[in-house]
Structure 1
């Protein structure tokens, strides 16, 4: 029986070359059971005409499927589904009743229920996505990343692609980080003092597991990166939130019995404030007095497009007490999940052993692709392009915020990709976000960044990294409109409030 050509179609959102899309379409038809063994496929000419592609594209796709035993050729008769093609499962899954396990008792430690906010999976479909930490397809260098990935797949890099490094990392990536990335932050480190991680969050988790126990105390900024607070809570250590000011974490507010201090001095999360040099020295002195360690999360230092960033806290460290966390998630794309830890060799040794017991190492092909992208200068070019675009968007957003009378609570003096905003005291920004989402506007409520039961609910973050400059003013206007509507509701409910 011949398969009708009408059953073949290319999905409009499919990725890859036309040839690969056709291969995938036919393979999925066979694997799903829609195309049965012995059934004849349309001729290459007929399918090409139906799909609107060249005949050679269909021929090459058929040839690849023939080589992989999905199809077979019968002389001049044409192509058929092979008798050796994979067969879909013939069984029907049995119905399973409710679990007999009482999971409320069986689970010994809970990791769900944290403060990690959920961003809509289809955020790119919103007209005004003021959301943080997503890649902008208009700015990313797709072509050169693809070339670097193909280069990393080549025979020359077969070892990097296939080897189980166990607890080691790609030497080319380590060398580039040591010689180029860290030197820009004033940091000197040997390969033995660098560990590749699955992003900054994985680096913070490894650090917490190695340094903290149920008897030790950690100090973290308030407000802070919400995932860090979840990580510390899961470790069951004692946690002290330290309220930040315009200069970041005040050293004299850190309790004297603190063992590990977590801070974001270059670009405080989420206020975007930068810790001045005098306070950085004070923080190092305070840590030395307590014999405490400092974990420096140096995210977004690459986004310093207004002026050169201050030296990293790690570069001022003469005692070896600062552990440095870096990431390529913001400067490349978050799905890359590639970061790194820099610290004294005894600490890195333990973090390396822990990482190996959990996941061995980040995939070698990902590491080698990133090493090529960095070493060939594509990353630097991307940073310059992003810096220019973010500078323009920042100016547009700043003007729109001022025009509509919205209040900025924090804006990075060196650049960055977001504004930390404050609404009137009676406005709940979770409700504001819900109302705005219905109008195509995405913002990030700020309550999750704060610690304790009485969290501030009138803060929010506006990012300009994922929205074109031409849409910013209209989006800010909608935010101001909904803000006024919520303020009016509050006034009507309670009489008056500031």
Structure 2
């Protein structure tokens, strides 16, 4: 690997001749570890031109470093950091800098703090990872995704790959969403009513910024996706949490004066409850009476392998008051960060302008690759394969859960990839999760999903998208054994 010539700068504070200063500059780069053994230095001509010195000065500096075994010469190839160059000394951790900025005063707004979901970076190294929302590499269609990515890199797609599209989206992806994805949910929308986003999280952020700022009265489900509460708190919304039951949100619990409601009717997060059709109709009527808007997060609707999904709220909306959030990140892979917003043209116009002010548009190559993967039928084939696998895993989990006496608090009536679980009242699942991690078992404690200062500590979520069927029974057994020990200690 060649060291870029731009890396070299002569310090105006350094003392000595130009030759000595160049020697010191190179030696310090080696001793600090910035220049590694075997890396090629710039040619004497190139470095001399860059530093504004004579070539003979650089040559003499290199020669001296060569004699001291900092550098080696390889025929006509040039100069390299010697294999015998001194090892960088281990100075230990750097001394802390004195930061004289009062960040409590300097920061106009904070985004840290609050409750967030956390997953170990090394979750894939656990043998029993009951982690929600991660991709199983055995199920993903690597070969066809790679082919679609290569196709998107071709000269035919040069414009989609390289052009700054300003506020626009890939027309092929938008066309697929409008003609294929949304009609499956009973939604008809034109291109001016669709916005591609960087996943559902970005879509929710845009909706929160446009609809919920400056003290707007906003209602969310309890429990709910923790990051949503963070988004709403950051824009200064007045947030009220509405408890859900085994059927999801109760329309009569939405308080008077609510201006925006966020809901997950098809697959409540995290309980997996599905809102019945009667409640959907009543909820729309309630919102219309109050003049409220509804943001519908329809995540994971593709995973309806038990029975067809219920109609989306957006498909029942005749007033244009439902903003629909969809995502390919759950059904393809979370690192894709590709979702979409669907709403009235007036709303999408403002959403497009807001997105453009922050990140212009999602990368063109990613959009075009996804468009090919979707339109060539690979996506549908992947969904069918995932549905079969998840259905099998769900069956294995239900059997193991029953065998070991665990309690399911919520499971998707239509499918999904997780169970919402309830431990005995006196079990803290944060502590349980730590104990299980020592046995290579990962579970997700449920407390972060609740808004209260003293949330129930005995709920937890078990995802099964990332664990093979043959490991599920043993993993559930270990959870049951750990819970039994807690019971024995009472």
**Structure 1: gaps spanning 5 or more residues:** 1-29, 40-77, 86-91, 492-498
Summarize the alignment of residues 311-350 of structure 1 with structure 2, pairs less than 5 Å apart: 311-350=311-350
* Runs of 4 or more consecutive aligned structure 1 residues displaced over 2 Å after TM superposition: 30-33, 36-39, 78-85, 94-97
Q: Is the 8 A contact 1:38 1:80 kept in 2?
A: no
1 CA distance for matches of 2:149 and 2:462? 33
* Residue 486 (structure 1) shift: 1.8
- SS at structure 2 position matched to 1:244: strand
2 CA distance for matches of 1:245 and 1:82? 73
- SS at structure 2 position matched to 1:296: strand
Q: Which residue of 2 aligns with 1:59?
A: none
Q: Is the 8 A contact 1:298 1:326 kept in 2?
A: yes
- SS at structure 2 position matched to 1:169: coil
- SS at structure 1 position matched to 2:245: coil
Summarize the alignment of residues 246-395 of structure 1 with structure 2, pairs less than 5 Å apart: 246-395=246-395
- Whether 1:35 and 2:35 are equivalent positions in the alignment is no
Q: Is the 8 A contact 2:218 2:260 kept in 1?
A: yes
2 CA distance for matches of 1:79 and 1:334? 50
Q: Which residue of 2 aligns with 1:494?
A: none
1 CA distance for matches of 2:298 and 2:40? 57
Summarize the alignment of residues 459-474 of structure 1 with structure 2, pairs less than 5 Å apart: 459-474=459-474
2 CA distance for matches of 1:341 and 1:284? 19
2 CA distance for matches of 1:404 and 1:262? 36
1 CA distance for matches of 2:291 and 2:249? 18
Q: Is the 8 A contact 2:444 2:462 kept in 1?
A: yes
Q: Which residue of 2 aligns with 1:482?
A: 482
Q: Is the 8 A contact 1:170 1:364 kept in 2?
A: yes
- SS at structure 1 position matched to 2:421: strand
Q: Is the 8 A contact 1:162 1:364 kept in 2?
A: yes
Q: Which residue of 1 aligns with 2:212?
A: 212
Q: Which residue of 1 aligns with 2:238?
A: 238
Q: Which residue of 2 aligns with 1:43?
A: none
2 CA distance for matches of 1:326 and 1:96? 45
* Residue 109 (structure 1) shift: 1.2
* Residue 31 (structure 1) shift: 8.4
Q: Is the 8 A contact 1:220 1:262 kept in 2?
A: yes
Summarize the alignment of residues 141-152 of structure 1 with structure 2, pairs less than 5 Å apart: 141-152=141-152
- SS at structure 1 position matched to 2:472: helix
- Whether 1:433 and 2:424 are equivalent positions in the alignment is no
2 CA distance for matches of 1:37 and 1:395? 58
**Structure 2: gaps spanning 5 or more residues:** 1-32, 43-73, 82-88
* Residue 95 (structure 1) shift: 7.7
- Whether 1:450 and 2:453 are equivalent positions in the alignment is no
Summarize the alignment of residues 103-252 of structure 1 with structure 2, pairs less than 5 Å apart: 103-252=103-252
1 CA distance for matches of 2:399 and 2:333? 28
2 CA distance for matches of 1:175 and 1:282? 32
Q: Is the 8 A contact 2:38 2:80 kept in 1?
A: no
Distance 1:37 1:234, change over 3 A: closer
Q: Is the 8 A contact 1:35 1:81 kept in 2?
A: no
2 CA distance for matches of 1:255 and 1:115? 25
* Residue 434 (structure 1) shift: 0.5
Which stretch of the first structure deviates more once superposed, 100-109 or 155-164? 100-109
Q: Is the 8 A contact 1:38 1:81 kept in 2?
A: no
What is the Cα-based RMSD across aligned positions, in Å? 2.2
Rg larger in 1 or in 2? 2
2 CA distance for matches of 1:96 and 1:396? 52
TM-score (norm 1): 0.81
2 CA distance for matches of 1:83 and 1:193? 60
Summarize the alignment of residues 50-65 of structure 1 with structure 2, pairs less than 5 Å apart: none
Which stretch of the first structure deviates more once superposed, 278-287 or 107-116? 107-116
Q: Which residue of 2 aligns with 1:55?
A: none
2 CA distance for matches of 1:145 and 1:335? 14
2 CA distance for matches of 1:353 and 1:81? 53
